[in-house]
A and B are shown apart, each in its own frame.
Chain A
């Protein structure tokens, strides 16, 4: 297993080689868009439906 002998730096370099900049940009954009959408999921029904779940996860937003 060659993969176990590399360093953290190698891993980052490898990811750079494997992924094209547009792929990275698309991934970051999707993550940001989902985060943005979640911020607006404070819509009362969705928010209240998750009330118990937020308690369960111990998340601060109440």
Chain B
């Protein structure tokens, strides 16, 4: 059963990753090239990549990386869905969307509150090691926030759905408001125009959100299909197995 969930997660991730990879190749690659051509690397920043790697390679790697990224997220999603399915609120595909939201919060949103998506050409205030450490710690915080939100929803659910949704929003809102105020370490300056940085962050945030949404939708679809076709036999088998 665990393997079925994992398979479905990997398949959903591959579907989502394919689209995401195409998006990276078609939109993000030209965006990054353009932004970096605007910036002069006169500050000892080692950015020899534009010379070292051909454009076709970058495009191919963009698509391939997108698929692998989708499979990684989808596989983790499938495993998490297997374990957490009983405790996720909602029914059917709604559960998948809730888990995908928690995943997006954990992997991206909460870390980005301190370390915003690095726009091309911007510089970081902190070194790579420090940033990786902070990123991992923030992923743990994101998972806690997601769990608190879901538990809050379940506790409040008997008192009405709107109330429960409001309760679930509290931990997320607190983190989204408080974290950037508490730790403005990620503010990265540089020679890149502010609008470009904002546009790039918009592209990154919305494309990652879309990736998670497609994973959830594909997973929900595969899940429904599997329980539709094998549901009856699964029940038969489990009732046979019961003493």
Name A residues whose Cβ lies closer than 8 Å to a Cβ of B: 1-8, 10-12, 14-15, 18-19, 44-45, 48-53, 55-62
* B234 CB within 8 Å of chain A: yes
A56 to B100, CA, bound (A): 19
Establish whether residues B32 and A52, one from each chain, have CB atoms under 8 Å apart when the complex forms. Answer: yes
Establish whether residues A55 and B120, one from each chain, have CB atoms under 8 Å apart when the complex forms. Answer: yes
* B118 CB within 8 Å of chain A: yes
Establish whether residues A49 and B231, one from each chain, have CB atoms under 8 Å apart when the complex forms. Answer: no
* B174 CB within 8 Å of chain A: no
A56 to B86, CA, bound (A): 34
A57 to B115, CA, bound (A): 13
Least CB distance, A1 to chain B, in whole angstroms: 6
Least CB distance, B69 to chain A, in whole angstroms: 6
Least CB distance, B72 to chain A, in whole angstroms: 10
Write out the residue numbers on chain B whose beta carbons fall within 8 Å of the beta carbon of A62. 118, 124, 128, 131
Write out the residue numbers on chain A whose beta carbons fall within 8 Å of the beta carbon of B61. 49-50, 52-53
Establish whether residues A1 and B235, one from each chain, have CB atoms under 8 Å apart when the complex forms. Answer: yes
A45 to B60, CA, bound (A): 14
Establish whether residues A55 and B207, one from each chain, have CB atoms under 8 Å apart when the complex forms. Answer: no
Q: A52-B61, A60-B131 are known contacts; what are 20 more A-B pairs with Cβ within 8 Å?
A: A1-B234, A7-B86, A8-B86, A18-B2, A44-B52, A48-B48, A48-B49, A48-B52, A49-B61, A52-B28, A52-B58, A53-B62, A53-B66, A55-B32, A56-B203, A58-B205, A58-B208, A60-B134, A62-B128, A62-B131
